[in-house]
Structure 1
């Protein structure tokens, strides 16, 4: 492929995550975006055509369907107006925050969905703090306009005051709730009328009124609402800043759209602006240098691992963000951590749980590699260069349970299942050196429930938990071999191996941890594991 064609492929790609507080409508807007994707698209898999027109569900795991919440990030690639979009639908619940934080390292932009009936919620504040670390560009969608919401001006004030980012409205609602009439687009100078039926992206005369002062507007929404809209727009244009793409790309402003994801109203407005505004695939930092997307040699990093996407084959998929170069089917990649080369001949792209083999992938794409236990979150792959991409977090767990088997004969099966689930990064497994116990650590309490369900569903193993006196676990290392041996001999009863056989210290109390750290100043205690 010529360099100019390579650059064109980069220009065609946008990679973003959808983030929100639980129940704000994040998964719904994902599925509505898919309903707007370019139709009659076929993806080739070993010569067979696969029609991707059918409805795709972002929440594909059985427990997600039962609970009605997103548990794991869904990776979806689709075509819209000639642009290849890599969309990552992240879990909203705080108990699954690690998956979301790692996903944010793999995207170039975020769509923030806010429940306009509730305003700014706690999880939204946490997520914005993470995006602020990298000044990630953010587009905001005020959702649920078909219900009784906060006053729109109040919503803008909440975003600016609590999330510390300047709002630039792109569309503006005409009333809300039962009186919701539609939105006015400040930059297109068009009013898009709402219908209680599912809104179709067909801009017919009956759905669009061109011009803020068009007499037709008075007829379709009423004289009073039309007058109020004109006054409001006049005031906003005199007070609020204009949209500036550079300020958006630097994370200084957020363009704001209003609509209803459930009714598929306003979703296309976001996508239509997303294409020209969102950044093309951005560079990524390594420990030694910055890698640009337009570089010819392939690089990529693993930000997520998912076990048992295909229950029949018990497979594990490692999700890679392509940073630079081109993936070609059958190419040899260098796994920096292990120092080994692997041949990748069956890379995948995804539409939630649906997968398709590909022959090529470009910067910004999210591809899947079959993992047989040799790939870890944080791994870097190159064409030979010794690089290590940074800022892919793996946090120490905060909650702990001891696992008890209902059938003791399933011990080996249990260890295998837990290790495979722990590869995803949502839970961590520790095996104390001096006992046969198995300890699970997690960030949130719901993770323990998910493990029980998944072990039963995916491995046919029944477990229960018992409480355990652990306040913290820290990974340990020491450059002084003699002192490290002394430390291990005297503290063996508090040591455990994680799923990757890294040594960790189990602290029964935080006071104990402080005393041990003071007693052994040469030992390094880490609350983030080093991949």
Structure 2
């Protein structure tokens, strides 16, 4: 067998070992805490950090930006790659806040499964629903983890009913809590009836000890809770809530686990469930809808670009999901959009902000390519057989502001910063003929994106800036003929999107848009993808 044939034969075997998934949730459901806990129970870290760095503890690995640590929210997605049970886990922590939906959507273009995190007291929340819509549209199987069961909350059966009635996923509990929310005594394994009791550690900084307790003993110690749990489990059995792998992979049912990420309850069980149940990488459809076999020559999708991860080097990293073949550091790939070669001398595996050189990678892996100035989210890289994967669309912006450098002496840094943030997809950068190149227009899904831009311009590029908020709320795609028709109309402006040259017409209100439609029925005014249903 030739060397190439031997390497090709390794690909399906290595792909079967990969698990690539994202954690999605509404803000404050405990997503970053769960991500940290999963790394702790995989023994990738010795001590879990805290979201707010409490009591002298370091911050969580996935929230490495200074602004994230100050505010206690995830602003940018993060990749944590580690080994567990002879598998390679690629875990992607995503921003929960709706203002950063675009970043989360890009991540969901790169994963094979998702963990939907629910707050035991709040259940399904608006942002959770939007993110699930994206998972449904992409056919991504979803596992559900009901978090914060160590705090007061709702009844378990009520939460399951809400999941089924609201999003149409049939719940299939794998574990069941003994004790109501706020009085958690342990977890029952639904398939076997085995009961596990947890010894909590201070703030969940280290792994909690687990003790399997005989049913008779726990029934005698907690008769009321045990009796209630047995009644609930009997009801679940009666309605056929047992695990169905086909329904899970088809996206019509969701395995459900209960626990408390902060104290480590149920985290190891979730990690095992992900390895056992989440699908391994499969052939991925290209832009024409043709599946790219796993054993085809190497190809990958750029789903994220991030600068400022290492201030001492001030480089830019492109995160690439390997879709087919074997990646080898140093190989020269082709950039599908331009046909130009792209060298991969500096290829790294990523764990939050930490980096290690990676020599090879396989389908499902996330590889960071350094000095990737030519790459943008949605780009395809390939070796040998040409391929291009579906582009990742930009969302329809609803907030607009002109940005100007506050210091004339740092204008070059200001321009470089704006170019960088545009290429990363942190925000959409538009050009206005009215304001010129001195004051580009920023278009955002949510206002928090503006805060990130100002923070990074000042702290990363040493170019403080100020915003002038604009009274536009609606954007539509137009063309040159449409731009000429709209010229001079009040409460309307035509802007050019810098990254792709697309013309956008922006309007003060939806009413103004409809008024313009009636006035210029032949004008091209096409909607852009919406955040919850972009495809």
TM, length-normalised to structure 1: 0.88
Paired residue for 1:169? 173
What pairs with 1:40-439 in structure 2 (closer than 5 Å)?
57-197=61-201, 207-210=211-214, 214-219=215-220, 221-390=221-390, 392-436=392-436, 437-439=439-441
CA contact (8 A) 1:16 1:110 kept: yes
CA contact (8 A) 2:27 2:96 kept: yes
Classify the secondary structure of the residue corresponding to 1:279: coil
CA contact (8 A) 2:199 2:208 kept: no
CA contact (8 A) 1:476 1:526 kept: no
- CA distances 1:119-147 after superposition (whole Å, capped 9, x unpaired): 22111111111111123111111111111
Deviation, 1:342, is: 1.6
Classify the secondary structure of the residue corresponding to 2:374: coil
Which consecutive residues of structure 1, in runs of 5 or more, have no partner in the other structure?
Answer: 42-53
Give me the whole-angstrom Cα distance separating, in 1, the residues matched to 2:499 and 2:410.
Answer: 21
Paired residue for 1:45? none
Give me the whole-angstrom Cα distance separating, in 1, the residues matched to 2:23 and 2:518.
Answer: 40
Asked if 1:30 corresponds to 2:32, the answer is no
Paired residue for 1:49? none
Give me the whole-angstrom Cα distance separating, in 1, the residues matched to 2:297 and 2:92.
Answer: 25
Deviation, 1:495, is: 4.2
Classify the secondary structure of the residue corresponding to 1:158: helix
Asked if 1:9 corresponds to 2:14, the answer is yes
Asked if 1:452 corresponds to 2:454, the answer is yes
Which consecutive residues of structure 2, in runs of 5 or more, have no partner in the other structure?
Answer: 1-5, 47-57
CA contact (8 A) 1:303 1:319 kept: yes
CA contact (8 A) 1:56 1:351 kept: no
Deviation, 1:506, is: 3.8
CA contact (8 A) 2:19 2:364 kept: yes
- CA distances 1:365-422 after superposition (whole Å, capped 9, x unpaired): 1111224531111111112444321152212321001113221232232121012112
Paired residue for 1:498? 497
Give me the whole-angstrom Cα distance separating, in 2, the residues matched to 1:17 and 1:183.
Answer: 24
Deviates further, 177-186 or 315-324: 177-186
Deviation, 1:259, is: 0.6
Structure 1 residues 518 and 381: alpha-carbon distance in aligned structure 2, compared to 1, 3 A threshold: farther
Classify the secondary structure of the residue corresponding to 2:199: coil
Structure 1 residues 126 and 308: alpha-carbon distance in aligned structure 2, compared to 1, 3 A threshold: same
CA contact (8 A) 1:475 1:528 kept: no
- CA distances 1:55-93 after superposition (whole Å, capped 9, x unpaired): 961110000000000000011101111110000000000
CA contact (8 A) 1:317 1:369 kept: yes
Deviates further, 85-94 or 405-414: 405-414
Structure 1 residues 159 and 270: alpha-carbon distance in aligned structure 2, compared to 1, 3 A threshold: same
Classify the secondary structure of the residue corresponding to 1:179: coil
TM, length-normalised to structure 2: 0.88
- CA distances 1:489-525 after superposition (whole Å, capped 9, x unpaired): 999x944433326142343445665537974847575
Give me the whole-angstrom Cα distance separating, in 2, the residues matched to 1:338 and 1:67.
Answer: 39
Give me the whole-angstrom Cα distance separating, in 2, the residues matched to 1:21 and 1:302.
Answer: 25
Deviation, 1:424, is: 2.2
Deviates further, 8-17 or 296-305: 296-305
Give me the whole-angstrom Cα distance separating, in 1, the residues matched to 2:292 and 2:131.
Answer: 26
CA contact (8 A) 1:174 1:184 kept: yes
Deviation, 1:316, is: 1.4
CA contact (8 A) 1:428 1:441 kept: yes
CA contact (8 A) 1:141 1:257 kept: yes
Paired residue for 2:52? none
- CA distances 1:3-22 after superposition (whole Å, capped 9, x unpaired): 44322111100000000010
Structure 1 residues 169 and 312: alpha-carbon distance in aligned structure 2, compared to 1, 3 A threshold: same
Structure 1 residues 466 and 366: alpha-carbon distance in aligned structure 2, compared to 1, 3 A threshold: same
CA contact (8 A) 2:102 2:394 kept: yes
Paired residue for 2:50? none
CA contact (8 A) 2:74 2:96 kept: yes
Deviation, 1:215, is: 1.9
Structure 1 residues 323 and 178: alpha-carbon distance in aligned structure 2, compared to 1, 3 A threshold: closer
